[in-house]
Amino acid sequence: MKNSSKKFNGSESLKSTAKEPLKELKSSESPQNDDLIITEVPDSIIKTLESRIDHMCVKKDEGDERGPSCNMASVPGAVTQRSCVYGGARVVLMPITDAIHLVHGPIGCASCTWDIRGSRSSGEELYKKGFSTNLQEKDIVFGGEKKLFDTIIELNGIYNPAAIFVYSTCVVGLIGDDLKSVAREAEEITKCRIIPVQSEGFRSFNKSLGHQLACDAMLDHLIGTGELEKPEKLGLGQKSLASTQEKGPTLNIVGEFNVAGDLWAIQPLIEKMGITVQSAITGDSCVEEIANAHRADLNIVQCQKSSNYLARQMEEKYGIPHLKVNFFGIEDTGKSLLSIADFFQDQYPEIREIAEKIIETEIKKVRSEISHYKTRLTGKRVAVYVGGNKAWSLISAFEELGMKVIMTGTQNGLPEDYHRIMETVSEGTLVVDDANSMELAKLLKKYHPDLIVSGAKEKYMAHKLGIPFCDFNHDRISSFASFNGFINFAKEVDRAVSSPVWKLTSKYYQGIV
């Protein structure tokens, strides 16, 4: 893998991955400098810095699994859209509803903490309150440990939370505050779980480390500390399984954060199969549920990018096997339910039949609901630029609507993410890693897809370029998971693509109006 970490000195030429001969613009074509020779880049992808070339690739054939260069520091000056390690940690932990999430650092690091993922709750709302130690200049000079300790004591007295997560930021890492010792001392006094999260933002250029650090915090201080017995309760399919066993199977839904209520579309299907959901980690969860997560029979992993590590560690520590699932799209939702049923079938023979009946009923309903949307969407081209897991999990969902993904990518992808993407995408699909705003704008201008699916940062860029946009990140308000969520997904995509406003923008770009 080529190392793209070399410094850009301002004289680096613009190059392309194309093998076409490069054309030179002579001095007569360059009014700024008579001695300057500029290399013109072929149009195979886009003009970009030499060190960024390897971060874009096109799948050539079905056997081509070589993804783009990834998991490297962003090119200096590229204005990357990446988040930091602290950001990666808080998106994993903050959906825990009955805990306080305290940011130890300057007030800026606590911005928008309460609504960071649009994660919904069916009960507690404490997680939606934002808390910060608001470190000032004197705290930087003399240390912030006393201020942190006093803040924890005060918050515990006011709110009596089930736990307090304390997040370390860059400043705290630089001045050397000892979160663990403060947490131990405060826990002895408050008798409340005080959980340090060593998430200094500068620890890596990739927020995926933050995901791992959040998982480590749960493994070290929360999971396995519960005192409840294994749940007796069965799900909605209890009658079907009661003849086989007195107790039903249990599982944890790992890496599901209940964005826009996605969990509430997944959990009922599992319960209809007679399976009790021990905990969701971490959407719509409470501290005690996660503390008893080690009592489940199985972990199913929805967001594999953020939570594969947690599932592997729980398997090693507690012997809980795990399955990778995907509840986006009709086909993948059905496959996920069947894989869960197959896991439990030896102990509960009827469960496979129950799952098949659920899938048959749900698919029949969904096909009927989306037929008129599919008619309008068939043949449309899509660009996907989202989190690592969604960069491949959405592809089959679009195919079910008759749409073609022509470009996909992510900001923080790891080699295993791109390996999965290259396995999933079709020949000719462009795959991009850590595209900055300028590169993304050039790509959208060049390929001009009928729709881009991304997050809030890319929304207005797409609109200014006259391209329909669909939000699949934290700010969306509609659930897209499971069978019912796919109906919402088809509706949202059709609403974006079929809006008459885009007919006017296309005329504008053609110079007609």
For residue 450, what are the contacts with CB-CB under 8 A and spacing of at least 6? 380, 381, 382, 403, 467, 468, 497
Q: What is the pLDDT of residue 31?
A: 41
> Among 33-47, 78-92, 174-188, 436-450, where is mean pLDDT lowest?
33-47
What average pLDDT does the segment 102-110 reach? 92
Phi-psi region of 153 (alpha: psi -120 to 50; beta: other; left: phi over 0): alpha
Cis status, amide bond into 282, omega within 30 of 0 = yes
Q: Which of 510, 476, 511 is nearest to 496 (CA)?
A: 476
Band of pLDDT at residue 195, cut at 50, 70 and 90: very high
Strands 469-471 and 451-454: parallel
Q: What is the pLDDT of residue 78?
A: 67
> Among 71-80, 114-123, 242-251, where is mean pLDDT lowest?
242-251
Q: What is the pLDDT of residue 34?
A: 45
> In terms of pLDDT, which residue wins out, 98 or 75?
98
Q: What is the pLDDT of residue 277?
A: 96
Q: Which of 302, 361, 330, 339 is nearest to 485 (CA)?
A: 330
- For the purposes of burial, counting CB atoms within 10 Å of the CB of 225, is it exposed (0-12), middle (13-18) or buried (19 or more)? middle
Residue 511 pLDDT > 80, yes or no? no
Q: What is the pLDDT of residue 1?
A: 44
The backbone torsions φ and ψ at residue 412, rounded to the nearest 5 degrees and listed phi first, read -125, 35
Band of pLDDT at residue 18, cut at 50, 70 and 90: very low
Q: What is the pLDDT of residue 19?
A: 37
Residue 5 pLDDT > 80, yes or no? no
User: Positive or negative CA dihedral for 469, 472, 478, 483?
Assistant: positive
Residue 242 pLDDT > 50, yes or no? no
For residue 488, what are the contacts with CB-CB under 8 A and spacing of at least 6? 478, 479, 480
What is the per-residue pLDDT across 302-353, written as a single tens digit (0 to 9) for each? 988 889 999 999 999 999 999 999 999 999 999 999 999 999 999 999 999 9
Q: Which two tokens stand for residue 102?
A: 């305290």
Q: What is the pLDDT of residue 55?
A: 86
The backbone torsions φ and ψ at residue 45, rounded to the nearest 5 degrees and listed phi first, read -125, -100
Q: Which two tokens stand for residue 297?
A: 């029979």
The backbone torsions φ and ψ at residue 393, rounded to the nearest 5 degrees and listed phi first, read -70, -20
Q: What Å distances lie between residue 417 and 256, 313, 315, 390, 410, CA to CA?
A: 18, 19, 21, 10, 9
What average pLDDT does the segment 21-42 reach? 40
Task: Give the Cα separation of 176 and 493 in Å (integer).
Answer: 48
Band of pLDDT at residue 113, cut at 50, 70 and 90: low
What average pLDDT does the segment 388-403 reach? 86
Q: Which two tokens stand for residue 84?
A: 């930091």
Strands 48-49 and 14-15: antiparallel
Q: In which residue are the tokens 């997050």 written?
A: 455
Q: What is the pLDDT of residue 230?
A: 46
> In terms of pLDDT, which residue wins out, 430 or 415?
430
Task: Give the Cα separation of 435 and 157 in Å (integer).
Answer: 46
> Among 70-79, 160-169, 213-222, 474-483, where is mean pLDDT lowest?
70-79
Q: What structural domains and CATH numbers belong to the chain? A: 1-78+378-476 (3.40.50.1980), 85-221 (3.40.50.1980), 238-363 (3.40.50.1980)
Residue 392 pLDDT > 50, yes or no? yes
What is the per-residue pLDDT across 353-382, written as a single tens digit (0 to 9) for each? 999 999 999 999 999 999 999 999 999 999
Q: What is the pLDDT of residue 79?
A: 64
Q: Which two tokens stand for residue 148?
A: 């942190």
Task: Give the Cα separation of 307 and 256 in Å (integer).
Answer: 9
Please name the residue ranges forming H helices in 286-389.
287-291, 304-318, 330-344, 351-377
Q: What is the pLDDT of residue 240?
A: 33
DSSP code per residue over 99-130 = EEEEEES-GGGGTT-TTSS-B--SS--GGGS-
Q: What Å distances lie between residue 185 and 195, 387, 447, CA to CA?
A: 12, 38, 58
Q: Which helix (H) or strand (E) element contains residue 444?
A: helix 437-447
Q: What is the pLDDT of residue 168?
A: 95
Beta bridge partners of 454: 471
Q: Are 156 and 126 in contact (CB under 8 A)?
A: no
> In terms of pLDDT, which residue wins out, 33 or 90?
90
Q: What percent of the chain has pLDDT over 70?
A: 83
Band of pLDDT at residue 510, cut at 50, 70 and 90: low
Residue 285 pLDDT > 70, yes or no? yes
Q: What is the pLDDT of residue 502?
A: 83
Q: Are 384 and 458 in contact (CB under 8 A)?
A: no
Q: In which residue are the tokens 């630029």 written?
A: 385
- If you ran DSSP here, which 8-state letter would residue 434 be given? S
Band of pLDDT at residue 2, cut at 50, 70 and 90: very low
